Structure formats: C-alpha cells, structure tokens
C-alpha cells in the first residue's frame, strides 16, 4: 500500500520510541520524512532503520528559532510539508505539593511550548497547499494522575490547544486538519526508564499490558493520510482501555 504517497512529513522526537515507529510507518507508506531530536546520538541508526527517504535535523522543540530551519530543511530536501507529528516530549513523576520551578518549566517548555511552536509554524507552511497536524497528547490530557502534575498540565494544554488551532484553521478556510492522539503507557525509552513501575503501569490497563510504539504509529498514519479527511479538532485514544474505567 502507499497511503502517504507524495506527502512530506516532519516527526519530532523521531530518533526513538513513538517518533521512530511513526517515521518508519510513514516511509513504508510512501512519505518522505524529516526526523528531529534534541540529541543527535542514535540519529544515524534511526535513519538506517527507517530506510530511504528520510533525513535528520537536530532540534530543541522548546526553542522557537529552531523551528523554521526544520521546515526549510524539509522543503529543500523533499518539497512542501504536508504532515507534522508533534511527538517530542519528556516525562517526570512529580506531585502538586513538591513540584519545583525547574521541573515545572522544563516539562511545560518541551511538552506544551514545543507543540505550540510546531502548530504555529506548520500553519504558516501548510495553509496554501493543506496538511495534517498531529499532536501527541496522552491519557494525562484526559484524566488526572496524581504523580504526573506537570505532565498533566502540559498534556491537558495540548488537548485544548489542539482544538483551538483546528477551529482557527477551519474558520480561515485553511485546508489543515489538527488532531490529537492520547496514548496510554507505551513501551518507549521514556517509560521504560522506570522499570520499577512496570508492573504497576501494566495493571492500570484493562488489556493487561503496555502499548507498543507501532500501535500509536498506526493511529498517526491514519491521521496523516487522506483517510481522516473529515477529522479535525478530535481526540484519538489508544490506551488499552485505561480511560474506559
């Protein structure tokens, strides 16, 4: 199949985890992809795993001045960008009583500001020819989790930012769709960095396991493709039943 033939995509946080799985799925379905990450360690291996039609650009998504060069690199290498997957994120376990300024601002800078900058710049680059903006939120953007205070705030912000941007594009008659994905806990380096929490996290999901990065990538693939042409401002939950409880 070639569900993304002719499309050019940017995937932030694309060197590992959900970003890497998404980049692989996009290229397999015919897209040309730019993966970005703040750390270029592992970028060569990621590109080798993705295959042809992919390049890497180093980027800190929390810094607005690093966004325009990413779009320029994509356009120079492949042409106009049709898809942005705002995937880059960090996870920190903290609570409302003991949160520190440094942790709060660090989490929100990457997980919320980074998405905002991506949406802002993608609209500028996509409004003429159209496209799909995919924002990775979380179940933490839908429900409260007591030990994810800053992450809850960031991902809840992504959920509502997503809706506002979708309505804005529709009102402006820009042919841009903006949707969010809300995964449960997924096997990624970010989650697997806490092996002591593995059994506890698995038990939270009625299906009895964590998700796989490829399962989230499949949802991103749908949203990147023209199959989702009537979806905008929507929330797509991929959580093993977590939020059904």
Given a contact cutoff of 8 angstroms between Cβ atoms, the answer to whether 111 and 89 are in contact is yes
Residue 188 pLDDT grade (very low, low, confident, very high; cuts 50, 70, 90): confident
Residues labelled catalytic: 151
Q: What angle do CA 46, 19, 176 make, to 5 degrees?
A: 130
Residue 192 pLDDT grade (very low, low, confident, very high; cuts 50, 70, 90): confident
**Residue 191 included in any domain:** yes
**Residue 2 included in any domain:** no
Closest by CA to 229, choosing from 155, 145, 132, 157, is 132
> What is the CATH number for 164?
3.40.50.720
**Residue 3 included in any domain:** no
Predicted model pTM: 0.96
**For the chain, what is the radius of gyration of the CA atoms?**
17
Displacement of CA 116 from its chain's centroid (Å)? 12
| Cα 236 to Cα 136: distance, rounded to the nearest angstrom | 10
**Residue 196 included in any domain:** yes
Q: Identify the residue whose tokens are 């002719």.
A: 6
Count of helix runs (H) and strand runs (E) in the chain: 9, 9
Helix (H, G, I), strand (E, B) or coil at 26: helix
Mean pLDDT of 6-16: 98
**Residue 61 included in any domain:** yes
pLDDT of 109 higher than 90? yes
Given a contact cutoff of 8 angstroms between Cβ atoms, the answer to whether 148 and 93 are in contact is yes
Given a contact cutoff of 8 angstroms between Cβ atoms, the answer to whether 60 and 38 are in contact is yes
**Residue 156 included in any domain:** yes
| Cα 176 to Cα 129: distance, rounded to the nearest angstrom | 9
Mean pLDDT of 205-215: 97
Closest by CA to 150, choosing from 206, 91, 84, is 91
Domain count for the chain = 1
Per-residue pLDDT tens over the stretch 36-68: 999 899 999 999 999 999 999 999 999 999 999
> Average model confidence (pLDDT) for the chain?
97
Per-residue pLDDT tens over the stretch 65-78: 999 999 999 999 99
| Cα 3 to Cα 28: distance, rounded to the nearest angstrom | 9
Per-residue pLDDT at 136: 98
| Cα 140 to Cα 155: distance, rounded to the nearest angstrom | 6
Per-residue pLDDT at 1: 63
Residue-number span of the structural domain to which 152 is assigned: 8-238
Mean pLDDT of 189-194: 85
């Amino acid at each position: 199949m070639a569900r993304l033939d002719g499309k050019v995509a940017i995937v932030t946080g694309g060197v590992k985890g959900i970003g890497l799985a998404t980049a692989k799925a996009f290229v397999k379905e015919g897209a040309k992809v730019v993966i970005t990450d703040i750390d270029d360690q592992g970028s060569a291996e990621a590109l080798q795993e993705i295959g042809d039609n992919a390049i890497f650009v180093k980027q800190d998504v929390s810094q607005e001045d690093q966004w325009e060069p990413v779009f320029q690199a994509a356009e120079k290498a492949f042409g106009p960008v049709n898809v942005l997957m705002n995937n880059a994120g960090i996870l920190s376990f903290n609570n409302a009583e003991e949160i520190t300024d440094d942790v709060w601002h660090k989490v929100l800078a990457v997980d919320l500001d980074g998405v905002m900058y991506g949406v802002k710049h993608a609209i500028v680059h996509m409004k003429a020819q159209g496209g799909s903006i995919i924002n990775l939120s979380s179940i933490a953007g839908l429900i409260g989790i007591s030990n994810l205070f800053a992450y809850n705030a960031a991902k809840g912000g992504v959920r509502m930012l997503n809706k506002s941007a979708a309505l804005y594009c529709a009102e402006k008659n820009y042919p841009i769709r903006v949707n969010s994905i809300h995964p449960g806990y997924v096997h990624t380096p970010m989650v697997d960095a806490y092996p002591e929490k593995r059994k506890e996290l698995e038990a939270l999901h009625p299906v009895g396991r964590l998700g796989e990065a490829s399962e989230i990538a499949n949802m991103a693939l749908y949203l990147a493709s023209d199959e989702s042409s009537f979806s905008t401002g929507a929330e797509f939950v991929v959580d093993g039943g977590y939020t059904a409880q």
